[in-house]
Amino acid sequence: MSIFHRLLGGSAEPDPRLQPGADAAPGMIHGATEPGNGEPRPAGVPGADTATVRRIVSQLEALPPERARYLAAASYVLARVANADLVMSPDETAFMERTLVEESGIGEAEAVLVVEAAKQQARLFGSTEDYLVTREFKQISDPDQRLRLLRACFLAAAADASISSAESATLDEIASELDIEAPALHALRSEFGDRMSVVQAMRAAQDSEVARG
């Protein structure tokens, strides 16, 4: 079972109204709406979508709005980690695309669009949107889902075999913004300790000393 299956609580079935040739349901593209009136929730209030989340949600028309919103926020947080060192490696991108294809109920082409949208938003608006989107994910998730997302972030950062210092610092920021308890964060850091670039550099230096000795 992949991390996104656990994160999302199971695969979502595509909405039959949004299969090829069908018209999009009202409100599906723009994300969550207030029950009963079909109007988008206003920005700046608890539960409202950020503009970044709405842009990513627009690539998830085949999913129910709340699931699309949840997945959009999670995808952005993953892209935030991958972009922490200003380089999103092919392995990091492939990790995000693969998990979306396997568990979200969308096809490969749609997954590529979602990941590219998340990456673009992270590059363009990361300085202002990182906290807002992570906070939005916190509002629409439970503690277990937040911890699972943080572990997915560790996996994304480690996808290219090394977690850079910038990625490590971003992981700490995300953990704080999601209110992850210190013991849980410490456990993840221990699990991925051998992927930390600082640890790898120290071990390489030690091996070099041994070789010279």
Helix %, strand %, coil % for the chain, to 5?
Answer: 65, 0, 30
**pLDDT bracket for residue 51 (50, 70, 90):** confident
Q: What is the pLDDT of residue 200?
A: 53
Helices and strands in the chain: count of H runs, count of E runs:
9, 0
Q: Give the pLDDT mean for 19-34.
A: 32
Choose from 45-49, 63-67, 72-76, 103-107 the range with maximum mean pLDDT.
72-76
**pLDDT bracket for residue 17 (50, 70, 90):** very low
How far are the Cα atoms of 10, 50, 136, 166, 186 from residue 45, in angstroms, in the given order?
29, 10, 10, 31, 33
Sign of CA dihedral 173, 174, 177, 181: negative
User: Which residue type does 133 have?
Assistant: V
- Half-sphere exposure (CA, 13 Å, Cβ side) for 171? 27
**pLDDT bracket for residue 180 (50, 70, 90):** very high
Using DSSP, state whether 45 is helix, strand or coil: coil
CA distance 25 to 29: 8
Q: What percentage of the chain exceeds 70 in pLDDT?
A: 68
CA distance 138 to 178: 6
Instruction: Give 128-149 as a DSSP string.
Output: HHHHHHHHHHHHTS-HHHHHHH
**pLDDT bracket for residue 182 (50, 70, 90):** very high
pLDDT of 176 above 50: yes
Q: What is the pLDDT of residue 94?
A: 92
Q: Which residues pair with 163 in a beta bridge?
A: 196
**pLDDT bracket for residue 45 (50, 70, 90):** very low
Q: Give the pLDDT mean for 19-40.
A: 34
Q: What percentage of the chain exceeds 90 in pLDDT?
A: 34
Contacts of 130 (CB under 8 A, 6+ apart): 80, 122, 173
Mean pLDDT of the chain: 75
pLDDT tens digit sequence for 57-100: 887 777 888 888 888 899 999 999 989 988 888 999 999 888 77
Count the neighbouring beta carbons within 10 Å of the beta carbon of residue 65: 20
DSSP 8-state symbol, 160: G
How far are the Cα atoms of 18, 39, 68, 160, 203 from residue 30, in angstroms, in the given order?
14, 10, 10, 34, 49
Q: What is the pLDDT of residue 213?
A: 62
Span of 40-49, 54-63, 156-165 with lowest mean pLDDT: 40-49
